[in-house]
Amino acid sequence: MFIDQRTTRFFRVYGLVFFFALLSACSEPSQETQPTRTQANKQSANYHQSADIRTISPSMSYDIERAYIGKVVSKQLTSLSFEYAGKVAKVYVDSGDLVSQGQLLAEFDTELLSIQRQAIVATIEQFRARAELNRLNLSRINNLRTKGYSSKQAVDELEAEKKIINADISRQQANIASIEYQISHAKLHAPFAAVISSRTVAEGENFSPNQNAFNLIQQADHEVSVGVPIKVASQLVVGQILSVTLNKQTLTGQILAIGKQVHQVSRTIELRLSLKQTSTFYNGQLAQVNIEQRVEQAGFWLPLSALTDGIRGQWNVYQVTATPHDLLTISATTVEVKYTTLDAAYITGLPLVTHEVIASGVHRYVPRQVVKRASEAIKQVVSTGQIL
């Protein structure tokens, strides 16, 4: 029992010594680290972030590029058909074929017309024989009349018969001219160099004049037809050059005519543009006409990266004001965005004087923050969003 009491006292004394030693060890390092923290706070107070500062100047207007969808139309587009009824004897072309001016496309069977012409020629010969007989009779009557053996009535009758015969001959000659015209137009020729867009006639078909035989589209001198608002049309002039996007290619088109009639459905004015480049176009193909429209309103152009979200869906820009020691103080200004492109915005809401704004990395700054002007090398880092 005596041994147990001594052991207990020993552990109590040893525990008190260990406790005081532990307190001493904890208090001494805290006193040593206090100067280190103070030095760090001092260094932090002297550090300022770099900012990409740019100067923006006011502008009195800005240009808006509008795109309007039109279509390619051929300058020469026609439907061919025969002028009279007949039986198709031969068709020489088909859809998609390229034809030259004057090329034979199809023709009628003209056998019946030739027979009719022969019959008319025979009739004319008959009238001419009657006319010869009338001439001989009239000559005899005139001789007898000089001797007093014939009356004036007989002469008048022969003169009238002569006129009738001549009129019949003239009528039959007109019939021959009509037959010859039909024979000459029994062949259908291309009026201009074109491509056959469609063929609706076949060999052996009994053709009627109200049918279309071929549809032809000229392969040159294409135009673009597009409808634009009245306000835009009033700012354009004939001969003006516009940009046209076709088949992902940017072409140039010249305004040929500006319509004077408002379309009843779209309420637009039609423009006709001639394409300067020679390329492969298709009738009815969609084309995009780009028109720049100037808006007279004072404002500023600045990069999209200079805009930041404001309250209630508004936009802010961070302006900077110079302070001592070449430092800058940030202030937020609410602006209104009027127009944007892929990389820039036109804004209003600032006084019409030059301003210095933060152009990039605005998510890293807050109003009333003090920053320094970044060097050109640092601007590249700021624009990429890296932390300085």
80-100: per-residue pLDDT in tens? 888 888 888 899 998 888 888
Residue 384 has pLDDT above 80, yes or no: no
pLDDT of residue 38: 46
> Is the separation of the CB atoms in 199 and 91 below 8 Å?
yes
Average pLDDT over residues 15-32: 51
The backbone torsions φ and ψ at residue 344, rounded to the nearest 5 degrees and listed phi first, read -145, 160
Query: 10 Å Cβ neighbour count for 134?
Result: 19
Residue 127 has pLDDT above 90, yes or no: no
Non-local CB neighbours of 251 within 8 Å, separated by 6+ positions: 243, 244, 245, 275, 276, 277, 279
Question: In angstroms, what CA-CA distances link 64 with 57, 165, 226, 297, 345?
Answer: 19, 81, 18, 12, 11
Q: How confident is residue 74, by pLDDT bands cut at 50, 70 and 90? A: confident
> Is the separation of the CB atoms in 50 and 186 below 8 Å?
no
Question: In angstroms, what CA-CA distances link 306 with 105, 130, 318?
Answer: 67, 106, 8
> Is the separation of the CB atoms in 350 and 333 below 8 Å?
yes
Cα-to-chain-centroid distance, residue 189 = 35
Average pLDDT over residues 147-155: 71
pLDDT of residue 37: 46
User: pLDDT tens, 277-295?
Assistant: 766 777 888 999 999 888 8
Task: Using alpha carbons, select from 186, 177, 162, 167 the residue that is nearest to residue 121.
Answer: 177
Non-local CB neighbours of 331 within 8 Å, separated by 6+ positions: 318, 319, 320, 321, 367, 368
Strands 206-207 and 327-340: unpaired
Tell me the percentage of the chain whose pLDDT exceeds 70.
83
Average pLDDT over residues 104-125: 89
Query: 10 Å Cβ neighbour count for 93?
Result: 19
Residue with tokens 């890293």: 364
Pick the most confident of 89-98, 186-195, 218-227, 330-339: 330-339
- DSSP, residue by residue, 237-276: -TT-EEEEEETTEEEEEEEEEEEEEE-TTT--EEEEEEE-
pLDDT of residue 9: 60
pLDDT of residue 165: 87
Side-chain-side CA neighbours of residue 154 (13 Å): 13
Among the residue ranges 13-17, 265-269, 361-365, the one predicted with the least confidence is 13-17
pLDDT of residue 386: 45
Question: In angstroms, what CA-CA distances link 190 with 82, 90, 205, 258, 352?
Answer: 12, 15, 20, 31, 66
